Amino acid sequence: MPNRPNRAPFLLILAATVALGVAGSPSSRAAADGFVVICNAKASTSALSRAELKALYTGKSKTLGGSAVVVVTRPEGDVPFGQFVDQIFGIAIKTLLAKIHQEVFKGEMTKPSQASSDEEVVQHVAASPGTIGVVSPQGASHLPSSVVIVRVGG
């Protein structure tokens, strides 16, 4: 009998994706890219364009859902944040973090919250309206009601 590859991990991932209700939605494209954008539910924001995300993460947009925007950053080498920065900005994390630092120094942007895990990002986002962050698809699977997934559009 031929040796067949084990498809159980694939089927488990597929089932989880369908159970989360993201299969086929715009947010599934971001999840397939390895990141999910989340924000505080009080922001009443369900979708953002790439241009809007760039403006939020570079201090050009000052509010999100009527509250002062606070972005949550993650360190260099962080996989979900790295994929987000690559897909949305087309630059390295180090370059974006330097840009954010520059905008904070000039007074054009609120100092970002820093997190080193999905759990920390979710805690920061849940704690304050106007806060936005990036987690892995797995990190987005068990969000509190105070945090929502933001669809990423063109």
Domain ranges in the chain? 26-153
Q: pLDDT tens digit string along 30-60?
A: 456 799 999 999 998 899 999 999 999 999 9
State the alpha helices, DSSP H only, in the chain.
8-20, 26-32, 50-57, 79-88, 93-105, 118-127
Query: How far is it, in rounded angstroms, from Cα 39 to Cα 129?
Result: 8
Q: pLDDT tens digit string along 103-132?
A: 999 999 999 999 999 999 999 999 999 999
3.40.50.300, 1.10.10.10, 3.30.465.10, 3.40.190.10: which CATH number matches 26-153?
A: 3.40.190.10
How many other CB atoms are there within 10 angstroms of residue 44's CB atom?
A: 12
Query: How far is it, in rounded angstroms, from Cα 112 to Cα 100?
Result: 8
Q: Which residue type occupies 104?
A: V
